[in-house]
Structure 1
Amino acid sequence: MDALKLLHERRSCSALTEPAPEGEALDAILKAALRVPDFQHLRPYEFIVARGDGLARLGALMEVAAKASGKSEEIVKRAPKMPLRAPLVIVVVAKARESDVVHLFEQQLTAGCAVMAMQMAAVAQGFGGIWRSGWAMFDRNLHHLLELGEKDQIVGFLYLGTPKEEPAPAPVVDASAYVRML
């Protein structure tokens, strides 16, 4: 797929099924994440990949975190099912690296870029995906259960698989409405 076409027509796809990327396809997705802008080459990220039984384990951790955080009964009940909406989920974590030069926020931006790069690499190979956020992304109980550091931050859950149907075409947006020239 042409790179500009890929970027200009990017769409999230929430209705995902098997097959999910694996083997060389998954390697290509993870390799794309390693090429994002990364000042000082800190590699300030970690990718926690859940598939098969790992999806249920991730859901169980989300349920425990939801209970520990005092979430509503509805959220607690829904939590273990959340990762099951796709055959593969990558939890993307901004891993805080010590640096006198690179601010923590810059490191989090690098991890965010990794999510986008992985989604684009998946779409380029014929898969679909959606970058999800929500309460679990900020829940410190879930961070603890995933054995993340105090300064680490989940920046998203990348759900990947094969689209059940083609996403609607991207709407045409006039870029000039968001641009100001100096």
Structure 2
Amino acid sequence: MPDPNPAALTFLQTRRSRPAKTLGLPVPDRTALMPLLISALRVPDHGKLEPWRLIVLERAALLRLAALVPETGARLGRVSEDIAKQQAQFADAHLAVAVIAAPKPSEKIPLIEQTYSAACVAYGLLSAALAAGWGANWLTGWASHDRGFAEAALGLAPSESIAGFIHVGTETAAPPERPRPNPEAVITWMAG
């Protein structure tokens, strides 16, 4: 017989990200952040490869990333509005965790499964932060998909990529609820 956890199920059914631009101070210190990071690492990981890693970005590091955005945007031909928006993602933040997909050589575990595992880490961290009472948001953005930015900003190896930046802080404004998927439109039952 199942041993239900109604509080956890209710949390999962009602959780919602908070816009990164609404996250302010204080942010979790290292002691408060560590349990969230540990929770995020409890994900499906076929082959026990640990095909991910985390980089905690404190304020000075976020400002350094923000300073890299204009050159990256110019190189990629991005318009000034796109550059300003991407730069603000880092410049206005106080704490973010970069979730890095770091695949390992494996004959048994396909690259895509390792990438999905990294995405699970990002979602796990997002959920852990929200469950702990913090506001949190998972962002990427065009700069995170640029190889030059990834290497210059975070020192990523050629095989690594950014799965996302999980911004964590104190929620300063609650956004209105947004429409959710219609289960009947996206769920198919197959009995045979």
Normalising by structure 2, report the TM-score.
0.85
Residues 18-37 of structure 1 show CA distances to partners (whole Å, capped at 9, x for unaligned) of 11122332001110121011
Counterpart residue number, 1:81: 88
Cα distance in 2 between the residues matched to 1:70 and 1:174? 38
Over 3 Å counting, the alpha-carbon distance change for 1:98 and 1:2 in structure 2 is: same
**Is the counterpart of residue 50 in structure 1 residue 57 in structure 2?**
yes
The equivalent position to 1:113 in structure 2, one of 113, 120, 140, is 120
Over 3 Å counting, the alpha-carbon distance change for 1:5 and 1:26 in structure 2 is: same
Shift, 1:159, TM fit: 1.0
Shift, 1:153, TM fit: 1.5
The equivalent position to 1:142 in structure 2, one of 145, 149, 156, is 149
**Is the counterpart of residue 164 in structure 1 residue 169 in structure 2?**
no
Unaligned runs of 5+ in 2: 1-5
Cα distance in 2 between the residues matched to 1:67 and 1:52? 24
Cα distance in 2 between the residues matched to 1:78 and 1:163? 20
Cα distance in 2 between the residues matched to 1:69 and 1:91? 22
Tell whether the 8 Å contact from 2:59 to 2:93 is kept in structure 1 after alignment.
Answer: no
Counterpart residue number, 1:175: 183
Structure 2: which amino acid aligns with 1:124?
A
CA-based RMSD of the aligned residues comes to: 2.0
Cα distance in 1 between the residues matched to 2:49 and 2:70? 32
Cα distance in 2 between the residues matched to 1:80 and 1:107? 29
Cα distance in 2 between the residues matched to 1:150 and 1:8? 37
Structure 1: which amino acid aligns with 2:16?
R
Counterpart residue number, 1:13: 18
The number of residue pairs the alignment matches comes to: 182
Cα distance in 2 between the residues matched to 1:57 and 1:172? 36
Q: Identify which range, 122-131 or 172-181, moves more after superposition.
A: 172-181
Counterpart residue number, 1:41: 48
Over 3 Å counting, the alpha-carbon distance change for 1:171 and 1:68 in structure 2 is: closer
Shift, 1:79, TM fit: 4.1
Matched residue SS, 1:2: helix
